[in-house]
Amino acid sequence: MASIERPWHQATVIQHSQRLLRSFQHWLDRPLLAVEDLSISTDQAIANALFHAPFVLVSHGTEADPILNYGNRQALTLWEMDWVQFTQTPSRLTAEPIEQEERDRLLAQAQAKGYSSNYKGIRISSTGRRFSIQDVVIWDVLDEQNQRCGQAAMFERWEGVGER
């Protein structure tokens, strides 16, 4: 149970955290998280810092209907889910149906060049609470062989826009 309460302790999450950081640096030529500023630099400490970062960070895999496979603490709070629920959710369900076409277009654009930035849109939490997201960066997540293994998104600005 501790690994669900503290997902950054799981080996797969530690590995995925490294992929998120490395891929962001690869595509955007800047760090997602200033790892060199951490007083401890173990992979688990870095995964912990990423999970507790002040920005929202989410990712999904490459399934036909991609499933979320990572959400940091800010993401879990914003979408009002725990780790288990979040990582079993199809990525498309984070947006209302009317927003899904624009979301799909943006994901395709990011896949075509590796990343996309300055996106904004409306998302919906698990309880139906709507919120706007701004200045979103989306990028392809690469594995250790530089093969695409998913997509991630990060943003620091969001605000509530009311109930569904």
| Dist CA 39 CA 86 (whole Å) | 30
Residue with tokens 């990572």: 70
In this predicted structure, what is the pLDDT of residue 37?
Answer: 58
Structure confidence at residue 108 (pLDDT): 81
Per-residue model confidence as pLDDT tens digits over 98-138: 777 777 777 787 888 889 888 888 899 999 999 999 999 99
- Residue 80 scores a pLDDT above 50: yes
| pLDDT tens profile 17-76 | 999 999 999 999 999 987 665 555 788 989 999 999 999 999 999 999 999 999 999 999
Q: What domains are there in the chain, each with its CATH number? A: 2-163 (3.30.450.20)
Predicted TM-score of the model (pTM): 0.89
